[in-house]
Structure 1
Amino acid sequence: MLLLLNGTGSNRMKNLHVLFKPRIAFFNSTSSSSSPQISSLETYFIDLIHASDSTHKLRQIHGQLYRCNIFSSSRVVTQFISSCSSLNSVDYAVLIFQRFELKNSFLFNALIRGLAENSRFESSISYFVCMLRWKISPDRLTFPFVLKSAAALSNGGVGSALHSGIVKFGLEFDSFVRVSLVDMYVKVDDLGSALKVFDESPDRIKQGNVLIWNVLIHGYCRVGNLVKATELFETMPKKDTGSWNSLINGFMRKGQLGPANELFEKMPEKNVVSWTTMVNGFSQNGDPEKALQFFFCMLEEGAQPNDYTIVSALSACAKLGALDAGLRIHKYLSSHGFKLNQTIGTAVVDMYAKCGNIESAGEVFGEIKQKGLLTWSVMIWGWAIHGHFKKSIQYFEWMKSTGTKPDGVVFLAVLTACSHSGQVDDGLEFFDSMRRDYLIEPSMKHYTLIVDMLGRAGRLDEALKFIRDMPINPDFVVWGALFCACRAHKNIKMAELASEKLLELEPKHPGSYVFLSNAYAAVGRWEDAERVRVSMRDRGAQKDPGWSFMEVDDKLHRFVAGDNTHNRAQEIYSKLDEINASAREKGYTKGIECVLHNIEEEEKEEALGHHSEKLALAFGLISTAPETMIRIVKNLRVCVDCHSFMKYASKMSQREIILRDMKRFHHFHDGVCSCGDYW
């Protein structure tokens, strides 16, 4: 037996017959009353079952069990069902269960647990009902997994019925069952019942019983009742790391970063979940820079991140366009034994794509052995936002050739590629194919992309007709896409129509006013532009400020328009004046039509000269070595003037400039942009 258990792969199974023969002979030579020998053989087979790491091996053992006439042992069959379930072969487990006649609570418990842990929640409940019909009494190991199934199905009715059953079978004071009961009520959003069960728990005040407290705290955090969650936390007789983590996560979910940070600092002991909660929390709440600070602090303190920590940190890099930080994390993965699985691999591809290094994204994509649908989507989207239409479509076709069926997200990526490259007819064909060939119902995002695609190409009448023919009511974003196109093509009449729709949908959204004011300014209707701005101010609509990020020497530098707070501000503005002067000599003129107010020409030029991306560019030029690539991330769409300025700057400095705005990437090189001035 030791030889068999120590063997690996096919060698282990080849030894089966050799090892079984003496065992079987010994078993057959004994009388049927020799229970010690039977028990020994059962133990032998149970050890063999537990050592199996594949369904194929279990099937071989299954055959030997029949040969030995030992498959009538409920002890062996129970372990066999459990092993099948743990290997995700729950259908095989059900088949074994159904063919075993002498069913008992152990077999039912093993199957109910296996079904629940394999997300077969309805079947788990069905077999619990079957158990009752067989008049087999459930025990403390039965109810937790049936409760888990009821919670996963959000079926409070079944949960309440199970509660009655728990009382009927005298298990209401079992701590294991009671924790599962509270957890079920929490997950079906019945916190009143959860609190009642908690209050009736006699052992909740024991020093070591923190689990039931943690479950209830998590429940109140889940629904956003942080007052009650904090009250429970403060009255706990004893707290563990899970208690702190639950409350910190609750604050993060509500966007209360300050209290979450204070709790984290007070924690007596932190684990990987604590750190991950902070990294992910800051990243998801709009402070990816702070998220990266926590991640690298975690590494400095010797804490080991898990896959989820890594993905959260890479996501923060992607949001910031922080390529240097992303490279450090990728290097950490390689040197610390992390596998490039689907989850981490996809996050690395996404990081490189959104940080402007699409070539590295493609290389990592090629290294991922098992590519999921999300992996394909991220790569296709990466090619799209970098303006590589042919690559996007090539990868889309490659994905389909592997048997991976596209979903709505993949089609969003493909339509984005078509929109950014002006491939309108191809885009319309893909849109029709999505519905016709894959039966995917378009979402509002798909409709928006079609409007955007038609609008960019100047086919405004088609775009308007498309909106009016939509089977669902167009939202603010759809009308906004049309409005942007109207402004770009100076169609004021249609812009006013779109503006009316925008203001009807969201009267206080600043975009409605900014769009219309820009459109009037673009054609010199200054009184109308000012009237819109006054209306915007009177209604309390606030325009989002523009900012740009620039990463130098592993440090992020943030700029806003007209900013003077940077410690090298004087040098930055001096460099910017120098570039402006040189650009003028080469024929550059500022796009003063972008300025909203009807002010003097000189003032218009001043207003445009200090946009955040220009400040970031000037800083990059004075703080990096010649020929170094400059990467800038902007939160808004780049204006016409800044786009033109970047082209001149790239030619004069002989640098490649990569600018990521809210829509796409612009690669400026030798006076030319990768978008072909089509954005």
Structure 2
Amino acid sequence: MKGLHLLFRPTTFPAKTFTPPPPSSQYPTETRFISLIHASKTTKHLRQVHAQILRRNLLSSSHLTTQLISASSLLNSVDYSLSIFEHFPPKNLHVFNALIRGLTDNSRFQSSISHFILMLRSSVRPDRLTYPFVLKSLANLCLGGLGRAVHCSVVKSGVEFDTFVRVSLVDMYVKVEELGLAMKVFDESPEKNKSESVLLWNVLINGCCKFGDLGKAVELFEGMPERYSGSWNSLINGFMRNGDWKRASELFEQMPEKNVVSWTTMVSGLSQNGEEEKALAIFFRMLDEGVRANDLTIVSALSASAKIGALEAGLHIHDYISSGGFRLNVAIGTALVDMYAKCGNIEAASLVFGKTKEKNLLTWTAMIWGWAIHGRVEQAFQCFKQMMYSGVCPSSAYISGIKPDGIVFLAILTACSHSGKVDMGLNFFNSMTCDYSLEPTMKHYTLIVDLLGRAGRLDEALIFIQRMPITPDFVIWGALFCACRAHKNIKMAELASQRLLELEPKHPGSYIFLSNIYAAAGRWDDVERVRTLMQSKSVKKDPGWSYIEADGQVHSFVAGDHAHKHAKDIYLKLEEIVAGARKQGYMPGTEWVLHNIEEEEKEDALGSHSEKLALAFGLIQTAPRTTIRIVKNLRVCGDCHSLMKYASKMSQREIVLRDIKRFHHFKDGFCSCGDYW
């Protein structure tokens, strides 16, 4: 804080002439203009009012100038606000406050701080209305040192006990990660034990939750003089952010009054903690209790549906959006596109995309990803091209569409990988750096390895890894290994497996990879040695699971599952499917079970894969000729992929399977992936 007086040193502005204030007889005109300013709905209207003020020589009115700056800021015309400010000679407190607030509200934080410094140098003393917005800007810029200096200025100005200034100070210290100073300001607050200080408590509770100090957060919550919905919501959100959704749920049920923020916090928090079914249950319970959702609630519920492929739930939410009069804005439109794409209905996603008038980069990305994971490569390329030219006038010689980012390129590279478009994928990868100055991430490099590996260009993939400017990680070597296994290149697979073990000696995948290599080579003693090593280190393979939605309920299965109440019927149905498929030429792909066991035992192991159980359940529980939709957390194995093709032909049903990599649409004995996955 030393030298702060130099930074805030007042300077003298050169004298300027300006029209004196209007006589009292003109005050009714000023009042009328203020009404017109407030009534302006667009910047164009505001400029017209401004022009009339200039014609009447009323711009010298501090009140009118303040209103113009505030109104233009509300219309997101910050540059216009700055222009008005620059042309108003006496930079007084009210004009500075209006501008600083407008800049802060429009996220022009750096400019807000610059004008605060200009204010001090102009010998204009800040007041209690200045500091909250300055502190908010400092918090967003993470300028803790300058924040402490401004705190000193607050004390010198004598406004440190103003409620909003104090709340802003605590909030600033929390956001710049100075929880100790935030607690100190709180402890020194004389009004903290009054009911009107609830905001101060909520901000500090949020801070404790942010730093993971839930014990302190609970202590503060229990010590509050009075609790409002916001207090409960703050603590519930804190537990959700720290992964304790059970404690958050307990608090939610104890709430005396729940508002839409409470419900939204639960829906969003449960979804983010991997409890999508519970998130959807809470959302529909909220509607049953007559609480109207807001945009964020809807987006969170659609996200939960998308994660587990719950199309029926997603359709109900879409119906609610339509019947509830919600506008198909960017957020809701993007969430709907994402939901339909991830739930397997890419045509519905495309339809919603077309109806969404306001599209941003996220909207385009969701649609491109949708086409990519469904193997619709031409549509993905076309959508990418449309994004590039969106908003461009046909007669214009310049491209001014939406500029792609790294995530869009991940989507388009995925499309290339799933369709075998190797050269096109390499061109897109090179375009990232050459045309858009985007630095590839590890995910981009992984996709290129996957792209080359799928196409059997293993030597190129290995050279690519060796020439990478960043050190390849576990996922990249895993991509190479999978390609080696698919193309039966044992030697390179051993190299990849060794790298995997070096990088992640405790990762279960490393041992599984190595075990599979030895099994494929018939080295069963080595397989047993690796498996024993896994057991001794308590390393366990992540179980495979599959979801299927039926009658509005999501049912989950794991490999070898007998826990489902219809387990007996499911296994009988699965035997029926396999028997029928055998008559049509199906042979279990026992090479996918890499253990030294007899062929019959291998077939039994294959028969209990989670996606097969979900398929059998779907054929039992859903109406004939309806589409069966399954979501799997791992890559579908070759044997299950083969059986799904036969099942689609025998049942005359479309089977849509979403695995960790892409969608497979099985129909009439064929898959949309063309067996290239």
Unaligned runs of 5+ in 1: 1-30
Q: What is the match of residue 321 of structure 1?
A: 309
Match of residue 454 from structure 1: 452
| C-alpha distance in 1 between matches for 2:621 and 2:662 | 25
Could you tell me which residue of structure 1 aligns to residue 542 of structure 2?
A: 544
Q: What SS does structure 2 have at the residue aligned with 1:588?
A: coil
Contact 1:483 1:498 in 2 (8 A): yes
Q: Separation in 2 of the partners of 1:176 and 1:587?
A: 76
CA contact (8 A) 2:589 2:638 kept: yes
Conserved? CA contact 1:112–1:128, under 8 Å: yes
Do 1:380 and 1:414's aligned partners in 2 also have CA atoms closer than 8 Å? Answer: yes
The structure 2 residue matched to 1:281, chosen from 269, 272, 295, is 269
2: CA distance, partners of 1:134 / 1:676 = 72
Closer, same or farther: CA 523–677 of 1 in aligned 2, 3 Å: farther
- Determine if contact 2:338/2:366 at 8 Å carries over to the other structure: yes
Q: Which segment drifts farther, 141-150 or 582-591? A: 582-591
Residue 656 of structure 2 aligns with an amino acid whose one-letter code is I
Among 358, 362, 380, the alignment partner of 1:374 is 362
Task: Specify the alignment match of 1:20 in structure 2.
Answer: none
Give the deviation of 1:32 after TM superposition: 9.2
Distance in 1 between the 2:568 and 2:22 partners?
A: 97
User: Which residue pairs with 1:14 in the alignment?
Assistant: none
Output the amino acid matched with 1:538: S
* Mapped partners of 1:32, 1:512: distance in 2: 79
Moved over 4 A (4+): 31-34
1:502 to 492, 500, 504: 500
Secondary structure of the residue that 1:210 maps to in structure 2?
Answer: helix
Q: Distance in 2 between matches of 1:111 and 1:381?
A: 41
Tell me, yes or no, if structure 1 residue 253 matches structure 2 residue 251. Answer: no
Aligned partners of 2:206 and 2:238 also within 8 Å = yes
Q: 1:332 aligns with which of 308, 320, 327?
A: 320
Please, which moves more after superposition, 213-222 or 128-137?
128-137
Counterpart-to-counterpart distance in 2, 1:276 and 1:243: 15
8 Å Cα contact 2:22/2:58 also seen in 1: no
Give the partner amino acid of 1:121: F
Counterpart mapping for 1:351-430 below 5 A: 351-402=339-390, 403-430=401-428
Partner of 2:181: 193
CA shift for structure 1 position 327: 0.5
Cα distance in 2 for residues equivalent to 1:535 and 1:429: 44
Percent identical pairs in the alignment equals 69
Aligned mate of 1:235, from 195, 204, 223: 223
Partner of 1:10: none
Which residue number in structure 1 is paired with residue 12 of structure 2? none
SS at match of 2:182: helix
Select which of 118, 121, 135 maps to 1:130: 118
Query: What is the root-mean-square deviation of aligned Cα atoms in Å?
Result: 1.3
1:648 maps to which of 641, 646, 649: 646
Deviations 1:293-319 (A, max 9, x none): 111111001111111111110011111
Conserved? CA contact 2:333–2:353, under 8 Å: yes
2:104 counterpart (113, 116, 139): 116
Determine the structure 2 residue equivalent to 1:8. Answer: none
Q: 3-state SS of the aligned residue for 1:208? A: helix
Cα shift at 1:526: 2.5
- Once the 2 structures are TM-superposed, how far is the Cα of residue 34 of structure 1 from its aligned partner? 5.1
Matches within 5 A, 1:522-671: 522-671=520-669
Contact 1:279 1:309 in 2 (8 A): yes
CA distance in 1, matches of 2:313, 2:580: 34
Change (3 A) 1:33 1:511: closer
For residue 262 of structure 1, what is the aligned residue in structure 2? 250
Whether 1:173 and 2:148 are equivalent positions in the alignment is no
CA distance in 2, matches of 1:541, 1:487: 23
Unaligned runs of 5+ in 2: 1-19, 391-400
- Length, aligned pairs only: 648
> Deviation at 1:389?
1.1
Residues 143 and 176, structure 2, Cα contact 8 Å, conserved in 1: yes
Aligned-partner Cα distance in 1 for 2:378–2:526 = 43
Q: Equivalent residue for 1:16?
A: none
- Could you state the TM-score of these two structures normalised by the residue count of structure 1? 0.94
User: 1: CA distance between counterparts of 2:146 and 2:343?
Assistant: 49
SS of structure 2 residue aligned to 1:78: helix
1:33 is displaced (CA, Å) by 8.5
Distance (Å, rounded) in 2 between the aligned partners of 1:48 and 1:619 = 66
Partner-residue secondary structure (3-state), 1:582? helix
Q: In the aligned structure 2, how far is the partner of 1:332 from the partner of 1:174? A: 44
Q: Matches of 1:653 and 1:530 in 2, distance apart?
A: 41
Amino acid of the structure 1 residue aligned with 2:299:
V
Paired residue for 2:136, among 127, 148, 170?
A: 148
Alpha-carbon separation, structure 1, partners of 2:23 and 2:38: 25
Whole-Å separation in 2 of the counterparts to 1:591 and 1:616: 19
TM-score (norm 2): 0.94
Q: CA deviation at 1:487?
A: 1.3
Classify 1:33/1:306 alpha carbon distance in 2 versus 1 (closer, same or farther; 3 Å): closer
Which whole-Å deviations, capped at 9, do the CAs of 1:527-558 have from their partners, x for residues lacking one? 22222222222222221111111111111111
Taking the aligned partners of 2:616 and 2:46, their CA distance within structure 1 comes to 67
Cα distance, 1:32–1:310 mapped onto 2, change above 3 Å? closer
SS of the residue 1:213 aligns to = helix
The residue aligned with 1:341 is: 329
Q: In the alignment, residue 144 of structure 2 is paired with which amino acid?
A: G
Which deviates further from its counterpart, 516-525 or 614-623? 516-525
Other-structure match for 1:9: none
1:348-389 deviations in Å (ceiling 9; x for gaps): 000000000001111111111121111111111111111111
Q: What letter corresponds to residue 332 of structure 1 in structure 2?
A: Y
Q: CA deviation at 1:405?
A: 1.4
Amino acid paired to 2:343: C
**2:674, 2:317 → 1: CA distance?**
34
Measured in 2, the distance between the counterparts of 1:523 and 1:388 equals 36
Report the secondary structure of 1:668's partner residue: strand
Q: d(CA) in 1 for partners of 2:495 and 2:524?
A: 19
Distance change in 2, residues 1:386/1:603 (3 Å): same
The residue identity in structure 2 corresponding to 1:196 is: K
- Candidates 53, 56, 60, aligned match of 1:72: 60
